[in-house]
Amino acid sequence: MEKGYFITGTDTNVGKTWATIALMRYFKSRGKSVVGMKPVASGCVMQDGQLKNEDALLIQENASVSIDYDLINPYAYEPPVSPHIAGVNNPVKLAQLIDKFELLKTLADIVVVEGAGGWYTPLNEREANSDLAIALALPVIMVVAIRLGCINHALLTYQAIKQSGVDCGGWIAVCTDPDLLSRDENINAVKANVDAPLLGVLPYKEVADFGFFSEQLKI
């Protein structure tokens, strides 16, 4: 494997999946083979006798090679709640996630791993997304939803990433509020206070345009 990335967000519903698919498309357009992983997902629905997550299905669809769903999303929970609550009867085991990630590494040049929720979202009673990112030893890309409060959320998340000792490879701004005042000023404030490159700004779209989004990135 050439490299991989762990995608985290400043909160839930900030555009992590849109950023993940855009990154996958970006690398594919540059001749790299790419697979994605959403290790833990809540809010899954039954399809063909198996719980599946809409975001994980998008990741599966955009991979360079055909991969079984179980490898992309090992822990699929039905309740749309924090994984440590949803998985009370089937708690996340980091060792299992690491094993599946190691297998994915053999299948493509780049593996893009989308975390669940934010940096400190708990995966089980003892471990959080941050622990998974540390265990995978991947550079972290922070996704920032550009909306009211985003500067505080971005700086707190970035500080937490740095304190965890992992490398922050950059951040992506996702414009989630079409009515936000001073959008550019908000982005510039985050840029001025985060010592990691801004990899791209994904403009507001009611429906995702992943081809367009991938063209907004510069890694």
Mind listing the pLDDT tens digit for each residue in 63-102?
A: 999 999 999 999 999 999 999 999 999 999 999 999 999 9
How far is the C-alpha of 174 from the C-alpha of 23, rounded, in Å? 13
Pick the closest to residue 71 from 103, 113, 115 (CA basis). Answer: 103
Q: What is the DSSP letter of 216?
A: T
Decide if 100 is catalytic: no
Q: Is residue 186 part of a domain?
A: yes
Q: Is residue 1 part of a domain?
A: no
> Residue 2 has what pLDDT?
59
> Residue 1 has what pLDDT?
47
Q: Is the dihedral of CA 43, 116, 189, 149 positive or negative?
A: positive
Q: Among the options 3, 16, 32, 38, which is catalytic?
A: 38
Q: Is residue 126 part of a domain?
A: yes
Q: Is residue 200 part of a domain?
A: yes
Give me the domain span that covers residue 143: 9-93+101-215
Q: Check which CATH number belongs to the domain holding 124 and give it.
A: 3.40.50.300
Q: Is residue 148 part of a domain?
A: yes
> Residue 51 has what pLDDT?
97
Q: Is residue 4 part of a domain?
A: no
> Residue 3 has what pLDDT?
87
Domain count, the chain: 1
How far is the C-alpha of 14 from the C-alpha of 24, rounded, in Å? 18
Segments of the chain with pLDDT less than 70? 1-2
8 Å CB contact between 121 and 114: no
Percent residues over pLDDT 70 in the chain: 99
Interacting residues of 122 by C-beta distance below 8 A, sequence separation 6+: 82, 83, 84, 128
What's the pTM value of the predicted model, to 2 decimals? Answer: 0.96
Q: Is residue 23 part of a domain?
A: yes
Q: Is residue 202 part of a domain?
A: yes
β-strands 34-37, 140-145 pairing: unpaired
> Residue 12 has what pLDDT?
87
User: What is the overall mean pLDDT for the chain?
Assistant: 96
